[in-house]
Amino acid sequence: MMEDKLDDLYGYVQERCLWQFFSRSWDRQENIDGVLGQAEAILSGNPPARGTPMEKLFYVDARTMVDDFRARFPWIRESSPEEVKQLMDGLKSRLVETVITKSTNRELKHHLY
């Protein structure tokens, strides 16, 4: 069941979220960590960090994504904070694997960037 939920979230992010496709691997990692960290806070009922401009940027992307998650996947509203953490960790791992580790874009790790 958890795998089906993770598939739903991953499909949504792959289809609709451009923040995962920044031009460098460290940018991609930063965005994945930042947006999904904020999403986890929002979905768990914790106050998201908004102290820096980057935190605010991640928050806006996460807020939009979480609103769509709640509208498209009603099961997420009943998910416990532990389940939310598992889902966000799994989603993060999948995204990193797809858009960083297995990416064939050689510019991601070019030494001049």
Report d(CA 49, CA 37) in Å as an integer.
9
Structure confidence by residue, pLDDT tens digits, 88-102 = 999 999 999 999 898
pLDDT higher at 109 or 53: 53
27-82 pLDDT, tens digit per residue, is 999 999 999 999 999 999 999 999 999 999 999 999 999 999 999 999 999 999 99
* pLDDT of 109 higher than 80: no
Instruction: Tell me what pLDDT residue 113 has.
Output: 65
Does the global pTM surpass 0.75? yes
